[in-house]
Structure 1
Amino acid sequence: MTTTAQTGLGVPSLEWVMSLHVAIAPGDGLGVCTDGQRSNYRILGGHFEGLDVRGEVVAGGADFYLQRSDGVGELDARYSLLSDRGEWINIHNTGLIVLSDRGRELEAQGVWPIPEHHYRCSCSPRFQVASGRLDWLTRSVMIGKALYPAAGQVAIHCYRLALAASLVANDEFH
């Protein structure tokens, strides 16, 4: 087996890219579908800040949420951002939310949001932008952590997989 030490690539690290603060509507329940319980959470707006970019989360789009039979939730959100320079950024964010046993009990009692230590919510945001200043967003592997600080609010912290220093000597990758 080849290790990262043998390849010379080193251990990948994460670099913060942006944080989004998103307001969402209560879920519009579709009901039980063939793949599980479905609800749509409409995006109402919000704001974001990141590496040399900030602006608003545009109202519109939704998280097309699936509650699987095994209790795991699947996120599938599509929405847009508008930078303070007038640049449009589309996001497709998929992920999973896993609740602890106590988290599931609280959810069954109608408690939301559930305290952060009773769930784990990870995501993989993908960005779509026009060629130019922000197109590096489309060439980066991203992961994120979603938090639910209050009812109707989602905070998403996005990070990109950072290349080893020896691989970034050529700035064309940024």
Structure 2
Amino acid sequence: MTTKTPTEIAVPTLEWVLSLHVLIEPADDLGACTDGQRSNYRITGGHFEGLNVRGDVLAGGADFYLQRSDGVGELDARYSLRSDQGEWINIHNLGLITLSERGRTQVAQGLWPIAEEDYHCSCTPRFQVASGRLDWLTRSVMIGKVSYPAVDRVTIHCYRLS
């Protein structure tokens, strides 16, 4: 079923394609920089599953996080995956996180993670793969819904626009 706007423009639908369960280290705080407060969250592993693909998140890479002065957080994560069939997948996630007033208060008190209703985090994952079975990942526009189930875990559910 295609939904249309009042002006008859078709609205894209979302199709789930992949979920990533990423393990991270505590932040390496760079400190106050010209563009805000910078921290690196090193990636230590994890796993993923998706449409006809599954495997491991490889240790290495990081989320080079920026806490802007307006309170918005910018995600910039680069890391690699390896499928259970031996295929390498590079991923680059750019995203934003915004907090509710209660979420900002909790984070200021040193609490993390906070309840999902107190933040909104989404990203635009881009994939690099060799030509072949998984190259459909490079021909799709993706969005991701990011959640933080534990202090050392990030979950990203990736959807393609169709």
Counterpart CA distance in 2 for 1:11 and 1:77 is 29
TM-score, length of structure 1 as denominator length: 0.89
Q: Following TM superposition, by how much is the alpha carbon of 1:63 offset from its aligned partner in structure 2, in angstroms?
A: 0.1
Structure 1 partner of 2:74: 74
The 5 A counterparts of 1:5-44 are: 10-44=10-44
Q: Are residues 1:139 and 2:125 paired? A: no
Q: Following TM superposition, by how much is the alpha carbon of 1:11 offset from its aligned partner in structure 2, in angstroms?
A: 1.8
Structure 2 partner of 1:104: 104
Counterpart CA distance in 1 for 2:106 and 2:11 is 38
Structure 1 partner of 2:84: 84
Q: Which amino acid aligns with 1:67?
A: Q
Q: Report the number of matched residues.
A: 159
Q: Which amino acid aligns with 1:158?
A: C
Q: Following TM superposition, by how much is the alpha carbon of 1:6 offset from its aligned partner in structure 2, in angstroms?
A: 6.0
Counterpart CA distance in 2 for 1:133 and 1:73 is 35
Counterpart CA distance in 2 for 1:138 and 1:116 is 30
After the TM superposition, which segments of 4 or more aligned residues of structure 1 sit over 2 Å from their partners?
3-7
Structure 1: 5+ residue stretches without partners: 163-174
Structure 2: 5+ residue stretches without partners: none
Q: Following TM superposition, by how much is the alpha carbon of 1:10 offset from its aligned partner in structure 2, in angstroms?
A: 2.1
Q: Are residues 1:121 and 2:121 paired? A: yes
TM-score, length of structure 2 as denominator length: 0.95
Counterpart CA distance in 2 for 1:103 and 1:136 is 37
Q: Which amino acid aligns with 1:31?
A: G
Counterpart CA distance in 1 for 2:128 and 2:115 is 32
SS at match of 2:110: coil
Counterpart CA distance in 1 for 2:7 and 2:161 is 20
